[in-house]
Amino acid sequence: MSSVTTPRRGASGVLLRHWREARHLSQLDLSVEAGVSLRHLSFIETGRSQPSREMIHRLADVMDVPLRERNALLLNAGFAPAYSHASIDLTEPHLAPVRRALDAMLAQQEPFPAVVLSRHWDVLKTNAAATRLFGFLLGQAESNGDPANVVRLMFDPAGLRPFVKNWEAAAEALIRRVHREAVGAVIDQTTRALLDQVLAYPGVPSHWRRPEFDQPLVPVVPVIFEKNGTTFSYFSAVTTLGTPQDVLLQEVRVESFYPMDDDTRARAAVFARP
């Protein structure tokens, strides 16, 4: 059996070309930004030259390649991964500083909702406001034992979907983000399975199955929740945690909801009262 550090000729070049095209960069653009000759970059992409570890890091920096996929680039070039890829468990003692930071972010967001999400959009933590809001909307909906997943909840007719007044606009923005994050050198089967599931729900437009990478992602997304005449108008913004050495902590994100009007601000304050 071959070592994991044995390169497959040309494999790293294929992956680098994949990321260049995903970032809509020409070879000339990338060569200029990375300070690499166009000829050398072409040789790397076609497998005629094997990139050094330093070259992989330089190109990945320019293309903003996520840490997980940087590990894949390194492995396919015959190098050991550079970034930790341990199983994430926010209760682990060594993650206490991260946990405190997340708790502070969630607390600071009160009385408005905020949730901590994993790479695959599973809910890891919530603040009290999010618990109140989703409890109000979903009632005592039974769980099948799986962690709550915000993408599934948004698309499931038995989830949040009936209570999102602007569902089509909010869901389209969300699915475009999931499509974008599903693109990588390593095929993410979990995210692809999630996409397949939610896109198969009734009433989901068929054109959402096709990713539109030429369209920029919207940094904030309006989401209007409504149930029994009570309306909460929020816009959602996602913050990612980035560290230079840890894959999974880079993939943790915090989704925060901010009020779009005074009525929502006042209603959230009322809901927060004991």
pLDDT tens for residues 260-273? Answer: 999 999 999 999 99
Distances (CA, A) of 82 to 6, 74, 76, 177, 246: 16, 8, 13, 26, 9
Burial of 130 (0-12, 13-18, 19+ CB in 10 A): buried
pLDDT band at 190 (very low <50, low <70, confident <90, very high): confident
Domains of the chain: 11-76 (1.10.260.40), 93-272 (3.30.450.180)
pLDDT tens for residues 222-265? Answer: 999 999 999 999 999 988 776 555 556 667 889 999 999 999 99
Residue 132 and residue 272 in contact, taking contact as beta carbons nearer than 8 Å = yes
- For 65: left if phi > 0, alpha if psi spans -120 to 50, otherwise beta; the answer is beta
Residue 34 and residue 62 in contact, taking contact as beta carbons nearer than 8 Å = yes
Non-local CB neighbours of 260 within 8 Å, separated by 6+ positions: 222, 233, 234, 235
Helix, strand, or coil here: 156?
coil
Peptide bond before 216: cis, by omega within 30 degrees of 0?
no
pLDDT band at 215 (very low <50, low <70, confident <90, very high): low
The pTM score is 0.70
pLDDT tens for residues 106-149? Answer: 999 999 999 999 888 999 999 999 999 999 999 865 544 557 99
